[in-house]
Amino acid sequence: MALMEYKCPNCAGPLTYEPGTRDMVCPYCNSVVSIESLEAMDAILEEAEESESQDWSYAGNAWQQGEQEGMAVYACNSCGGEIIGDESLGATACPFCGNRIVISSKFAGSLRPDLVVPFKLTKEEAKKALERHYLGKRLLPKVFRDKNHLDEVKGVYVPFWLFDAETGVKADYEASKTKRWSDSHFYYTETSHYHVHREGSMVFDQVPVDGSQAIDDTLMESLEPYDLKEAVDFQTAYLAGYFANKYDVAAESCFPRADERIQRSAKQAFRNTVRGYQTVNPKREEVSLTGSRVTYALLPVYLLSTSWENRNYLFAMNGQTGKLVGDLPLDKRAYRSWFFKIFSIAALILVAISQLLVK
Amino acid sequence: MYLSIFTTIILQSASPDIRQRLTAAAIALLIALLIAWIGVSNMKAKLKSVRKEQTANRYIREDSLTLTSQRDLFLHKQLEKRPKAEKSKEGNS
């Protein structure tokens, strides 16, 4: 199993990707190395990997049958320490020497991502974003906000499938227009009924679906949108200093989720073309995909975890835009207290007004 | 239930003026309850930020929607007539 480390050419310290740049930085001697120059180094390392491929194997001798399923063991190139991880693990840090490691074979051949959106924000910014996330939440337990400490902050490149799709839409609607008037004796309501037909096409670009089983899909959808115009061609150098997983949910399995969202949007967009009516009810809405393409991309996410009252709370921040999401606990006492406060004030004002209005 | 029985008894035994005032106060309290519920529900909703995306609207390519066929076909008309209440005549008689 090939491990890839980016070492500082000056002091051999582990290089880390500098968010928002095209450079890697050595935290020990502050040397800055451009990713372009490392691309050439990548090729050399890949050649070396081929010749050394027999040196790296799953160390499963001591494991019992079946015990190793879904698990992989790697040896750190720097200190020789054993790193045990998930089979989909693509980048990590050695727990013994802290060396940043990229398991390049997880991103080789057909597993190689097409694109990567590099981290733009730092771990510190993620921590600050979490503090801001707590602000203005009156029903958040005070102890959670004041005394809670983060268990872990991890920068992770999450595998995503990006679906491009051309859709053909055929739709029929029942629509009506209503006209009202009156004369000296009657009120009149005239309803005109129409059959409306729409047919056409529309194009969707890069609808993302998370390709990792371990990461909650709803959490990832909450982090959207990513600005995919900033995506660059994949280079393993971007992974240095972060965690990364290769996809473990195939594109075919992810497509139904993208299709569901595309269908809903296409139907909505075509319904919006039916204008000038008081009521519009769909009778038939058919959405077919006439052409589709899939791209494999790694998107940057900070995962922040904390525990409180024996429950784990996971927050995620979009490593590009800084959007942070994560559900927070409810302070039931504060809930009751605020309900009583609002009720008391509203009741006082409304009862006073009601008594003034009654003659 | 007890509250409604109690309210009914009070409303029945009270004078029209007091009855009107009590009804107004009861309505005001109900509205206050509703305001309080909306207020705390709003605060509670702020604690939740993890939601499924329902659509792919932000991924629609700009100006890509093309209509190849559109037809608005008139089917039929329906006319409803409702007589006006003749208040003025009743008032004069």
Number of compact structural domains in chain B: 1
Search chain A and give the residue with CA nearest B80: A189
Q: Where are the domains of chain A?
A: 16-112, 123-232+244-328, 331-359
**CB within 8 Å: A265 and B36:** no
Q: Which of B55, B58, B63, B84 to mutate to test the interface with A (most CBs of A within 10 A)?
A: B55
Give the per-residue pLDDT at B26. Answer: 93
Give the per-residue pLDDT at A59. Answer: 42
Give the per-residue pLDDT at A22. Answer: 80
The answer to whether B48 contacts chain A (CB < 8 Å) is yes
- The Cα of B2 is separated from the nearest Cα of chain A by a number of Å equal to 21
Quick check: is B84 in a domain? Answer: no
Quick check: is B20 in a domain? Answer: yes
Quick check: is B76 in a domain? Answer: no
Give the per-residue pLDDT at A52. Answer: 45
Taking alpha carbons only, the member of A249, A271, A260 closest to residue A207 is A260
Containing domain of residue B39, as a range? 16-45
**CB within 8 Å: B71 and A201:** no
**Measured on CA atoms in the order A155, A161, A162, A167, is the torsion positive or negative?**
negative
Taking alpha carbons only, the member of A220, A215, A212 closest to residue A246 is A212
The answer to whether B91 contacts chain A (CB < 8 Å) is no
**CB within 8 Å: A197 and B69:** yes
**CB within 8 Å: B32 and A343:** yes
CB-nearest to B72 from A182, A194, A202 is A194
Give the per-residue pLDDT at A303. Answer: 93
Taking alpha carbons only, the member of A300, A32, A283, A264 closest to residue A173 is A283
Give the C-alpha separation, A76 to A64, whole Å. 23
φ/ψ of B77, rounded to 5, equals -120, 150
Contact A154, A347 (CB under 8 A): no
Give the per-residue pLDDT at A23. Answer: 83
Using a cut of 0.80, tell me whether the model's pTM lies above it.
no
CB-nearest to B56 from A262, A326, A340 is A262
Give the per-residue pLDDT at A248. Answer: 87
Which of B 55-84 lie inside 8 A of A, CB atoms? 55-61, 64-84
Give the per-residue pLDDT at B3. Answer: 57
φ/ψ of A221, rounded to 5, equals -65, -30
pLDDT averaged over 10-residue windows placed end to end, chain A, 359 residues:
65 78 80 76 59 42 56 71 70 70 70 90 92 92 81 89 94 96 92 96 95 91 93 87 86 92 96 95 92 90 88 92 94 94 95 86
Give the C-alpha separation, B75 to A273, whole Å. 19
**Residue partners of A59: CB distance under 8 A and separation at least 6:** A73, A75, A82
DSSP H or E run through A269: helix A251-271
**CB within 8 Å: B68 and A218:** no
Search chain A and give the residue with CA nearest B30: A347
At residue A9, the 3 state secondary structure works out as coil
Strands A115-116 and A232-233, bridge-based pairing: antiparallel
Q: Which residues of B touch A140 (CB under 8 A)?
A: 47
Quick check: is B67 in a domain? Answer: no
Please say if the pLDDT value at position B93 is more than 60.
no
Give the per-residue pLDDT at A77. Answer: 72
Contact A293, A152 (CB under 8 A): no
